[in-house]
Structures are given as structure tokens and as C-alpha cells.
Chain A
Amino acid sequence: MNAPNERSAELAGIGEARLRKEDARFIQGKGNYVDDIKLPGMLFLDVVRSPLAHARIKRIDTSKAKAIPGVLAVLTAEDLKPLKLHWMPTLAGDVQAVLADDKVCFQMQEVAVVVADDRYIAADGVEAVEVEYEELPALVDAKAALAPDAPVIREDIADRSEGAHGPRSHPNHIFTWEAGDRAAADAAFAAAEVTVAQDMLYPRVHPCPLETCGCVASFDPVRGELTTWMTSQAPHIVRTVVGLLSGLPESKIRIISPDIGGGFGNKVGVYPGYVCAIVASIVLGRPVKWIEDRIENISTTAFARDYHMSGELAATRDGRITGMRVKVIADHGAFNSHAQPTKWPAGLFSICSGSYDIPAAYARVDGVYTNKAPGGVAYRCSFRVTEAVYVIERLIDVLAQKLSIDKAEIRRRNFIHREQFPYTSAFGWQYDSGDYERGLQKVLEAVDYEALRAEQAAKRADPDCPTLMGIGICTFTEIVGAGPSKACDVLGVGMFDSCEIRVHPDGSAIARMGTINQGQGHPTTYAQIIATELGIPSDRITIEEGDTSTAPYGLGTYGSRSTPVGGAATAMAARKVHAKARKIAASLLEVGEADLEWEIDRFQVRGDPERAKTMKEIAWAAYQHAPSGEEHGLEASYYYDPPNFTYPFGSYLAVVDIDRATGETKVRRFYALDDCGTRINPMIIEGQIHGGLTEGFAVAMGQQMPFDAQGNLLGNTLMDYFLPTAVETPHWETDFTVTPSPHHPIGAKGVAESPHVGSIPCFSNAVADAFAHLGVTHLEMPHSAYRVWRQLHASGVAL
């Protein structure tokens, strides 16, 4: 018998920096993405899109396109009407045009689809479809959406005074959502010694996964079955939606998410392209593939953010925050297809009191329609948490500047202290655990904060210094792992998640989950959880996700929910297997279950460890002779409904040097300390943090979707849209503390989104800090050289 430490190492369980199991096939180009799926007789679908942001469709002539040899069908809204599929419901309680019905409401909106023998003919067919438009005035500025004379975007619902989330006050108004206690917040402001206010725009950005959206729909007319390969972050929910739309029973629908080249929220929704491909396959009886190109992806499938925020803090003169108010105009584009738990039109935005003990708070979000693409997904964050963290982390800096209090110190004065957990915020969230001071202190010591501030002071004193130096701090708290089904559902389905584990006779195992990997490392980390729980080496555990015909129903992977929800289901399913294994072991060893104790990979008799049965032996026995009263086999499933969200947190610090001549911002140093509770695989955590920081850097420093006054999207290719490469990405320093979640079976919290959520305000805080001595409190993102230069110029410090 090997020594315990050897056996434990052999498991490669929780805490091991195990190499990712899935990488071998990706590195060798052996991944299997949607566009790799090739079926006999497969057709291609391409989309005719509107060049205008707002226009009435006068006429569509498809005859030239239909005449092209190899074009099998051209579909418009008229063709979908008899099937009642020209509109579809959205996850947010609205409807969205599948193909434009009478008018187009955003540039690049889907107007018709062409189905052809190959994608080249389909593209030629798209060119040949003639559409005559009558241009209408476009509404681009969300803040003008509710003006009395604003163009009405949604004529289909213009006269409805009730929306999915309550009363509507204007044809372009989607919802008003309020949280907190307005009277209490107003009272705090009335009594405040100081107040600060800051308007800020979290610009419209796009998650821009390397693989664009797409699907292959294959309807078998003989069996009446629909199989669709789709690059989806939520295949099970898609199956339910497809069932609702098509009228097919879910038992006849199979959605398969193969390898996914990044999702970041972009692949949660159901898009017109999917619906059209499925309809075309049903109508033509042949498989139909639809794959977006990059321009279509950036222009049409879900964007993120676009929150116009006005934040205020009330405080005492020594910097204790006494109240918070936030008002938001949320630009949802032409249809409200915001990805969200159904009852949360502003997601979890009310986490916006952050890491601070703020006694009174109030937030209000007004969603509006504009002539832009629909969406509002959680781009590497839990629903609207990025926006929430941004507003509080910017506001606290503005307050610090006003009071001339150091930006680290003001955070310390306001933190929720360790002994206050579990802590209920003014917005009603119950923070499960936290230890904010410890993290911040560790970061400040690691970077020698005092020395950095001294260097900054010296540089500010030197008028010839060619750079402005800024130090940004962000001490954020996230809310992830949606979520408790009493609070969260999608179309009525509770936001639980699931796992099934089956241990084979030889002691190896397969486990299937309702989540779906898109680079998070599920095949590796889930196996580690099971390894520790069951004493089966990770390498002998296969993880499968993404096929609705084999995996148990789950809500999918987004909002950092895989570990908090799917990981918990995995641990709980393993514990059910473990309980049965104990029974079998007791029977084999002829002792009572209570006489057994678990040791790494075996049950041993208390006080007589030589008498033991390993999990491998138990597995064999489970198939050979089940103990009396027990079924054969060794398997279990678990549907986990989390009792609460988890609240990962971190302390980040950035040092930037701004070139006074060009406005270029160089990130000299970025130190990220994260606390995600129990750390399952430190290497994967570090990789996720690097990725999240890089995407955060992209958003803060360069990403934006700029529109002109006519609603034309000006930067929809990777020439303009900023996707950082290794060349521009800064060096990342990472660190951690461990504060386990008290309610999660293994104490884990989810980590992949923290670095995105936390780094963005950290960059903005650093850039604003560089200008703080010049009286500047805020610069809008992205902090491109050009925009920063304009501030240099306005502040009179450009060289």
C-alpha cells in the first residue's frame, strides 16, 4: 500500500495545478467546432442585412437571387409568417424580429436569408436580393430616447403601457427598475456633510469571441427529429426555446454544443440565424449551416454594457460613506434581448454598493430602445456586475479626491469588516464571506504603495516630466453563481445546475454536467472535484458536457456559475456515490457503516486500517454483487439549487505612465489579488485571471462600438475593434487570499470574471489618478491615446 501522500498525489484532486486535459487536442488543431461539422447534403445559409439603422421596407425582390443556380430558397418575414416564426420571444420578456417585419430598427438587421448549395453561392444570392428602403430618422443617443419627439422605434408595441417589467412611460421605454430605499438614501444626502456626483458612460462593447456564432441544423423528416450543433453557452435552455418555437417535443430535439471558441456572454442568446437555419432545415429536409463572419458578429449578435450612469455618494468629512444613489439609462438597442434571469431587467446591478458598508442606498435603471443592435449580455461578468463595480469604484475615488483622502485609506474606512459577515447590504444582498482589509494590505505591501505615491509626487513637481503617473486601486466584490431558484429563473426554469456521475466496474468514471466548457477548463477541474470526493484519480474520470441528449438539464455556463452551481452539483453527486460506496464497503468488510472511516481513496475499519476497501474494489463489487437491499451499479445525479450567490472579491492595483506628447498609456505594473474561496486548480485560476485581465485591459483601453448620427456602426472589424495581442498586453502579477464560501459544498466561489470586472475600474482609476492633481475626476472609456490626449490638451499639459 502506497503512503497516503503518494496516493493523494496520484488523485490530482482539489488544489493540484493539473495540466488541462483538453489542451492536447486544441494545440494539435484537433478541436471540433461548429464550422468543423460537415454533414452529407449540407446547405449554407447567409443573411441579407439592412444597410440602414432605421427604415421602412418598401419592397423586397428575391427573384434574381432565386434564379441563381444553386440557390434553393430565399426566406423573408412573409415566408415565416404562416409558421408564426417571423418574431420570437427574448429571454427578457420582449419579442425580436427574426426577419424584419415591415421595418428595420438597427443597421445590419436580418432582412432575408438565402439558402444555397455552398457558402459562396449563398453570398452571391445575398448580393442579388433587392430591398427598397424608406429611411427614417435614427435614434442613437439613449439619453434622448424618452424625449417627446423621439422617433418611435418599436411600432409593434408602441401603444402598450405595460411591459414585461411593469409600466412603460414612452414608446421607447422598456422598463423602470428600482432597488434599495429611496427615502433613506435621500435622507442620507439631505443630512450629508459632503456629497459628490459623477456621470459616466460604460460604453457599448462586444465580447468578440474568436469563434463567431453559428449552427448546423439537421432535421430528419423520417424520424421527426431535430439535431442542432450550436456554439451555445446554454444548450439545454436553447432546447426548451426551440421546443416552444417549433412545437416539437423536447424529446425530439437534440442540441449539441461542440468545442466552443470562447463565449464571454455572446453565446447565451438565441439569434435569428439559428431560427432561420432550423426553419430552413425543416422546410428543405436537409442540414443547413449558418456561420457568422466577424463583421456580423460584432454588429449584430449580442453586445454588452451601454450604461449611462449618474452616481452620487454622501459622506462625512472624514470620508465615511453614508449614502449612495445611482441612476442609469440603459441602452438595450432595438429589441430587449438582454440576457438575464427573467425577473432581473437590470441583472444584479444592485451589487453596486460594492465592498463598502453603506447604510442607505437607492438605484434606478431605465431601459430604453434605440436604433442599435439588441443585446446587453454579461460580457465575462455576472449580469450587470461590471457596470455596478465600475460605478462604485469610480465614485469612491471621486470622493477621495474631493476630501483629499488617500485612495487606499478611503477604502479601508468604508470596508465591510471581516467580523460583519454574513453581511446584508442596503440593497438586500447577503454577502456570504469576505476579508477585504487583508487583501488590500497585501497588495499595498507587495507594490510598496508609499514609494509609488512618493514617486508620483516627485513627478508632479517636475514640469518637464514627459509622463503623468497614475495609480489605480480597485477593491471589488462580485456576485456570481446565479442562482437560488427562488430568485432566479430563465423562462420559468430555475437556475439550478446538475451533474450525473457513473462509476464503471474498473473504478474509472464518467460525469456529465448541465454546464458547458468554453475554455474554463471544466474537463480538468470537475474531475479534480470528483477525484477528491471519491478517491478516483482525475485521469480516470471523463467529463462530458454540451449534448442535451446525454447530459442532465442545466442552465449553462455564464455569470461565473459553473463552479458555484455546477461544481457544487458535482460535489453533491459525488457524495451520493460516496454514500452508496460506504454501504458496499461495509457489506464487503462485514462491519457497520459507522465503523468505517474514509481515507483518501478507501474506506477503512476504524482502529484497524489494514482492513480496507478501495474505491476501485468497491466499484467492481457494485457490479458483481450488490449488498442486499441495494441496486447494482454505482452512480448518482444531483440537481443543485444554490442557497445563495457567492461573493468573490479582490484588490487590484495598476500603475500607469501617460505619454504627455501622444496620450499613450503604458501600464507599468498591474497587481491582481483575488479571493475565490477554495482553489480547485491554481494553474487554471491563474490562466483565467490572465485572460480576464487582458479582456479588462481591452475594454478599458480600447474597445468601443462607435455610432454616427445615422446609426452606422463605425468600427465593426478587427482593424478598429481592439483585441489585444501579446504585444500590447501588459505583464500581470497575481496573488491570492482564501476565504471559503460558507454555503458552497467545497467553499469555492468562481473566478474567471473577477479579473474582468475588477480590472476595468482599476485602469480607469489609474488614468483619472494621473490627472487628479489637475482637478480632473473622470475620463470616459476607452482610454485610447486620442481621448487621453484630448484631456492632456484640455488640462494644458500636452507636450
Chain B
Amino acid sequence: MIPAGFDYHAPDSVAEALRLLDELDDAKLLAGGHSLLPMMKLRFAQPAHLVDLGRIPGLSGIREEGDVVVIGAMTVENELIRSEIIRRRVPLLAEAAALIADPQVRNRGTIGGDIAHGDPGNDHPALAIALDAGFVLEGPGGRRPVKAEDFFLGTFMTELADNEILVEIRVPGLAPHTGQAYEKLKRKTGDWATAGAAVVITIEQGKVGAVRIGLTNLAPSALRAEAAEQALLGQPLSETTIEDAATRAAAICDPAEDLRGDRDYKLAMARQMVKRAIRKAAARCP
């Protein structure tokens, strides 16, 4: 449980961090360290250099920009949970962040690290997809936006290039007539999801006007369940449409067997989590 040797760098600006990434061989960005350091301690990862983003002013914090809530990549989970802006404008994030790991991890772990890591077990990817969030990546050539649903390419693989930093997460605030919910089945505190489903649903005049569904830990990367969304769109919500959506969501899943369960169990749980999250989100629609 002791990492191999490495050099530590603590730049004080994004530009400096980008320069280090460019210059150093085999460098890794360090945010909260709660995914990276365990891998280093197991010597699954042995980067020669760590570039700590923790001393860069302005990378963390939550602010409103019109309809959008802007979250700095270095914002830690506990800030999301406590933030008045998040609770009012993106309650899904406060609800879900409280289901991530344990209080100690949530004190250090960042939303940016959770997303950039590309771990299908992490919760923020599916949340970001359900929220239709956008990510802002900064590289030597400046900033570029990427939509959440286009960002995750596979296990530990994302749109992020080696010389880029995720700086912001931009989330549309809660729309009228909209409810949000996250259902996560886990074995115990501090565990990743056996199956998780994030739902953002808008119900107007008795019909589903908009809906987005994100799935956690049910495939090599977080999924958007578009066919499931289609089953609900434009319809009054009923047990039939919910069942249909759940079936379609499970149909796109490709979970790996592990100690949490085999594929059958995980597919069944995907259905359950989707159903529960739809019902809960719908019940929260004002």
C-alpha cells in the first residue's frame, strides 16, 4: 500500500499546470486524490509526476450564470451537499453526492476528478448525463466545451486529452415542472453502485414533456438511456410506460459480473433503479 516514488508539483495557475503537463514526462493531475492515490498505493498507477490542482485559485466554487449553474472542477462533494445554490437549482447533485463514498472521501473528492477519472462506477458521469451538463476543457489551445453525453468513451477513457484540464461543469438549473431523482443500490456505505439511475423529468399537463435518464455502473461507461426516454416522452406517466422504459434501459446495459452480482442481477437491478428513480422524480415535479 505504498506508492512508487514520484515528484510533486503545485502550480498556482491553470496556465502553469498546462505548462507542466506539456513539459513533464508521465505526469498526472491530482485533484482530491481519492481515485488516483488508491491506484498508486496498489501500484496500478505509477506516474513519475503529480501536478496538484489544489493550489490553483478559482478552480473551485459554485455560481449561477443565468439559467446555468457553474461548478468549478475542484469543488468537493461536501460543498455540493451544503451549497444553497445546488440544493435550489440542482437538487439531484446534493442528493447523489451524499450517496458517494463516506464523509472523509467527500471532504476531499472533487466533482471534476469524479468525472475526469472515467470510472463507470463513479456517480457523477450518469448524473451529468441526466442533467444535460456541459464540461469545459482547457488545453494549450484554449477552452473547448464538450457535452456530458459525448464525454465518456469507455472505462477510464474520456474525451479529455493528456494535455487538457477539466475546469468547469456547467449544469442547466432546474426547469419548471421538473423533478430530479437518483436511485443507487449499494452493498454498504462507501461502495460504488451495484446499479444506479439518475432521472430528470418534466411533466406538464399530465404528460412527460422532457426526460433524461443516466445509468451508473451498468456498462463500461455511464450510459444515457435514450430509448427508455422515448418510451416516456409525450405520454402520461403510467405503470405501463414506466415498465417499458425500465425494460428499454436494461436492454442497453452491459454490466460486468463482480462480487456485487452477476449480469442477471444487475440487469434486474437496473430495471428497479430506473423505475424507482422515475417514480421519485415524477413525484417531485411541482
A residues sitting closer than 8 Å to B (CB atoms) are 119-120, 123-124, 127, 293-295, 661-664, 702, 706, 714-715, 718-720, 722, 724-725, 727-728, 784-786, 789-790, 793, 798-799
Contacts and interface: CB of A to CB of B under 8 A. Distances in A.
A453 B185 CA distance: 30
Contacts of B5: 120, 124
Interface stretch (B51-59, B66-74, B223-231, B260-268): B260-268
A555 B189 CA distance: 38
A732 B194 CA distance: 28
Specify the main secondary structure of chain B where it touches its partner: loop
5 contacts: A293-B1, A702-B188, A719-B191, A728-B188, A798-B268
A448 to B, nearest CB: 31
Contact of B1 (A295, A664, A728, A793): A295
Given A127-B43, A662-B269, A798-B268, A785 B187 contact: yes
Contact of B259 (A120, A715, A727, A799): A715
A108 to B, nearest CB: 13
B194 A785 contact: yes
B102 interface: yes
B189 A702 contact: no
A717 B5 CA distance: 23
Contacts of B194: 785-786
A714 B259 contact: yes
A359 to B, nearest CB: 44
A43 to B, nearest CB: 15
A767 to B, nearest CB: 16
Contacts of A793: 264, 268
Contacts of A724: 188
Given A127-B43, A293-B1, A725-B102, A786 B260 contact: yes
A715 B102 CA distance: 20
B24 interface: no
A663 to B, nearest CB: 8
A599 B219 CA distance: 75
B185 A706 contact: no
B259 A662 contact: no
B46 to A, nearest CB: 10
Give the 5 A-B CB pairs with smallest separation, nearest first: A123-B2, A786-B261, A293-B1, A727-B189, A725-B189
B4 interface: yes
B180 interface: no
Nearest to A715: B259
B279 to A, nearest CB: 12
B2 A789 contact: no
A96 B191 CA distance: 36
Nearest to B271: A661
Given A718-B190, A727-B189, 7 more contacts: A127-B4, A664-B185, A715-B259, A725-B188, A728-B188, A728-B189, A789-B268
Contacts of B191: 719
B188 A662 contact: no
B202 interface: no
A772 B269 CA distance: 25
Nearest to B191: A719
B245 to A, nearest CB: 16
Contacts of A789: 261, 265, 268
A722 B188 contact: yes
Interface string B241-278: 00000000000000000011110110011001000000
Contacts of A702: 187-188
A459 B1 CA distance: 50
A715 B258 CA distance: 10
B261 to A, nearest CB: 4
Nearest to A789: B265
Contacts of B188: 702, 722, 724-725, 727-728
Of the listed residues A706, A715, A786, the one surrounded by the most CB atoms of chain B closer than 10 A to its CB is A786
Contacts of A799: 272
B32 to A, nearest CB: 17
Contacts of A784: 187
B259 A661 contact: no
Contact of A785 (B1, B185, B189): B185
Contacts of B272: 661-662, 799
A793 B260 CA distance: 16
A120 B2 contact: yes
Contacts of B261: 785-786, 789
A127 B4 CA distance: 9
A70 to B, nearest CB: 12
A714 B259 CA distance: 8
Given A124-B4, A727-B189, A720 B268 contact: no
A702 to B, nearest CB: 7
Contacts of B43: 127
Contacts of A663: 265
A720 B259 contact: yes
Contacts of A727: 188-189
B227 to A, nearest CB: 22
Contacts of B190: 718-719, 725
Contacts of A785: 185, 187, 194, 261
A714 B228 CA distance: 35
A203 to B, nearest CB: 13
Contacts of A661: 272
B2 A119 contact: yes
Nearest to A787: B261
Contacts of A714: 259
B269 to A, nearest CB: 6
Contacts of B189: 725, 727-728
Contacts of B187: 702, 722, 784-785
Contacts of B4: 124, 127
A727 B187 CA distance: 12
A35 B187 CA distance: 31
A729 to B, nearest CB: 10
Interface string B188-201: 11110010000000
